[in-house]
Amino acid sequence: MIEVLLVRTSLSGLASRGAPRTTTRPAAAALLAVAVAAVGLGPAASPAAAATIPAGSGSYTDSRPAGTSGPTTNTGAPVTPKVTAAAKDKPVPTNDWWSSLAFQRYGDNPYSTPMYGHPLTYQATSGGLEVGYPTTPAIVGDGRQYEYAHKADLTVGLSGLNSPDTKADDWSDWTVTPYWADGSRTFRATIGHGMPFVYAKGSGGDARVTTASAPTVFSDQGNVLGITVAGHHYALFAPTGSDWNISGSTITAGLGGKDYFSLAVLPSTDALATYRKYAFSFVTGSRVAWQSTGGDVRATYTLTTEAEEGTERGTLQALYRHQWLHTTDALTPYTYVSPRGTMKVRESASFTTSQRSSGVVPALPATSGVDKARLTGYLNEVANASDPFSGATDTYWTGKALGRLAQLVPVADQIGETATRDKLLGLMKGRLQEWFTAGGASEFSYDKDWKTLTGYPASYGSDTELNDHHFHYSYYVYAAAIVAQYDQAWAADSAWGTMIKHLIRDTANPSRTDSAYPFLRGFDVYAGHSWASGHQGFAAGNNQESSSESINLSAGLVLWGAATGDTALRDLGSYLLTTESEAITQYWFDASQEVFPASFGHDTVGMVWGSGGAYATWWTANPEEIHGINVLPVTGGSLHLAREKAAIKRNIAEMERNNGGPAQEWRDLLWEFEALSDPAAAKAKWDAANGNYAPEAGESKAHTYHWINTLNTVGAPDMTVSGDLPTSAVFSKDGTRTYTAHNHSSSARTVSFSDGKTLSVPARSTATSTGPGGGDPDPGEPGPSTGNTFRLKTGGILTTATTDPAGTDTLASADGVNRDGTPYRATAYEIKNVDGELAAGAATSFRLRVDAGTTVGLAPQVRVSYDLTGDGTFDRVETFRYFATDPVAGWEEYTQAVGTQAVTGSLGDLRGGTVRLEIWNALGNDTSQVQTGTEAAVLRIPYE
């Protein structure tokens, strides 16, 4: 067994082959074995004096069952939130990027473990806040993990500060303010995701910055000091009239009766003037607002600020890749390095993203590709099993079993097996009601200190570490949503709905004023995904392994909200799912191949950490489970994965390489995953097995058979089209689209799709229809259905779609060498399987918007290549003259009017051909940008 030193984290996900997972947690560090081989959700629950608190037909307790534990330190001692008096009544958002400030998991560390805000990293110490900016990745663990580990460039605090601990004093959606006090001095520092600034306030001492090594000063303007430490540039800002003094590695400034100062990490030394403008516009809070309408999800991220000097209230914030890919808001040329790829800087207190929503359906549509008799047999195997719950007793494994049954209810209903449907519903209701009734062998207990609801028996640290609540409870919410689809009375607040709402409030509370549960406990709105560890007590930050189980909660919210008529909750689910889908695409699967370091050598990670990612799981290094843990459970909420079909193919290919062949243990999960990209290939593997395999613990042969054969009939999900109802989806095969939607409401409605198709859906029913349509124009997939005009899409794609969001791609520097005529570190956009007849007299044309910022002498250059038959050889190559950019900020238009520099080969008809556009900088020493996803980012080929 090969072991990777990762430090401690949460256990989340599944056990290999149904056996409980284990992990070793030494006192100094934990070894992750990688062998080769969380609106209106009901009243706030104030803890009552009684031991049992009614909740509709259900109940929960306000004290834990005998012999169980709540949050503890690693030595087993009970622990309460480490917060100031100002925050003592505020629900603590455990499972966050900064949770170690509030959850002292390790008794010997009363400050914090490293916190990864990005671009900056932080760690609280007795003397203040360590600040770092890791820019060089390390590949560790036999090449299985990449990390940008925290390393302090400097420590910010006050002269003489020596605090016995650090507490959380205030927090908002993605910012936090730690607090230090030593009897003579108090110190606060507001930090957050995407914030290049640290905003400090203190009393009792001078501002003090201690650098890791002697700093180099590049600018000294009295109260504004520019320094370079470890190759990173920082600006220190003291109140006007103050002056920074340097003595070795210690830099101090008297505050002159003021209580504030700040620092910023600069993308370059020439950015000092821009950053100085916002040095005293202190961030006081952060807030996201979302809206899901017409098949689109929009989210606005806003920082609130307060001017400590002057009147400036703006700020600078760095957007993650999953954000800047989906915004049309103006961005500056400034960028930062992060474990999530390039971050781009916006000069504003807010920005808005817009994405096509990811639909969720209770089941795939009915098709002729499913044999009713065979499916009925598989359904009976589950429904008639001696123990349909496979001995599950704890929250996680009970949830898995509930999820397994929930997937089969609409499938049984679809083929008219109503008796089997009702039997499955009865099993689910019975087990849910057991858990939702206090006093039995299983129950939920509310912790008034941590303001959380924990199920007992617990598992994988869901009690002592507050791990994984969103994973565990996702199955309960999803199963309850399926029950509600068929039995609304059961889901009423007066019945069992109130208990489901408690689980939702614990894991994904949309309210910021609920005194019983925190806002979106596990979901990090700025990072775009959830975190699994309740305490975040690791050198690598927080982590999440099974992103798909987090998606399962969001999908459950969509279905529960739809089934109960709570559209606000349904739309919250759409926001969470759509946002996390893009984060998974970029940070788990690296679909654009722009995030993982080139030296990492993997196409996916099993776990995302604050510091990076790991090709690993918590319990095994089996490649099948490393790849499968971010797939399970496969449900109608998994369709979002089909948006990047080329990434699925790379993922499966790597799994088979590392596995020494096709999947064996989790073959059903991985067949279902492959079916989202290549249904025929998945069906071939299913057929070859002929039912002779053991299903994964949350799967069944009935569900896998239905999933694979349905997709083989209707085609893979077509993610270029979305419906204006969150419970709708589109599939495409051989030029035909299949549209499906489930209407949970009591009246008929018409669903409108983004390609113009409409679908009438009766009340409380599913409807399906077909029509002409294309498919996803991802590399390796069928090409455009019609048209000779392609848009550039970030991620290296040429597409005929006109609904993709606008974005920008960065063109690499020419590194000071003349690259005229020869692509160098080119950004390439491509489409395959193109058919077309050469148009007489036509020629290649393009229209691109490029920008070199204020840099002089850059020269973007384009080459267009045609592989007429798709055999891998380009038969025609057209290289155009470069475009001389100006040094004025703003987009410039580059077209084919510059003329060709060189042309080789001849054009002919395209038959399954490939078209590629490459663009690079031919001159200069800096990067530039090119727009994507707009009418000013197009290539027109001379074909009909």
Question: Catalytic site residues?
Answer: 468, 545, 549
**Distance spanning both ends of the chain, measured CA to CA:** 58
User: What φ, ψ does residue 189 adopt, rounded to 5°?
Assistant: -145, 115
Nearest to 629 by CA among 698, 580, 704, 577: 698
For residue 231, count other CB atoms closer than 10 A to its CB. Answer: 10
Q: Are 933 and 807 in contact (CB under 8 A)?
A: yes
Bridge-based pairing state of the strands 749-752 and 758-761: antiparallel
Sign of CA dihedral 799, 805, 807, 809: negative
Beta-sheet strand order (sheet of 607-609): 138-140, 145-147, 612-614, 607-609, 543-544
Q: Tell me if residue 612 falls in helix, strand or coil.
A: strand
Give the tokens for residue 879.
């290289």
For residues 717 and 642, the answer to whether their CB atoms sit within 8 Å is yes
Q: Which residues contact 730 (CB under 8 A, 6 or more apart)?
A: 717, 718, 721, 722, 723, 737, 738, 739, 740, 753, 773
The structure tokens listed for 540 are 């690598």
How far, in Å, CA of 208 to CA of 696, rounded?
Answer: 56
Helix axis angle, 469-486 relative to 395-414, nearest 10°?
30
CA atoms of 454 and 466, how far apart (whole Å): 8
CA distance 792 to 611: 31
Burial bucket for residue 439 (CB in 10 Å: 0-12, 13-18, 19+): exposed
User: Can you say whether the dihedral through the CA atoms of 865, 867, 870, 873 is positive or negative?
Assistant: negative
Question: Exposed (0-12), middle (13-18) or buried (19+): which is 643, by Cβ within 10 Å?
Answer: buried
Q: Which residues contact 4 (CB under 8 A, 6 or more apart)?
A: 31, 32, 34, 140, 141, 142, 144, 145, 614, 616
H or E stretch including 323?
Answer: helix 321-324
Q: Count of alpha carbons within 13 Å of 650, Cβ hemisphere only? A: 19
Q: What is the DSSP string of 823-865?
A: -SS-EEEEEEEEEEPBPTT---EEEEEEE-TT-SS--EEEEEE
Tokens of 108: 């010997």
DSSP 139-198: EETTTTEEE-----SEEEEETT---S-EEEEEE-SSEEEEEEE-SS-EEEEEEETT--EE
What six digits make up the tokens of 6? Answer: 């990762």
State the amino acid at position 175 in one-letter form: T
Q: Can the peptide bond before residue 119 be classed as cis, meaning omega within 30 degrees of 0? A: yes
Using CA of residue 904, residue 907, residue 913, residue 919, what is the dihedral sign? positive
List the helix and strand counts (H, then E) for the chain. Answer: 15, 52
SS3 659: helix
Contact 603, 626 (CB under 8 A): no
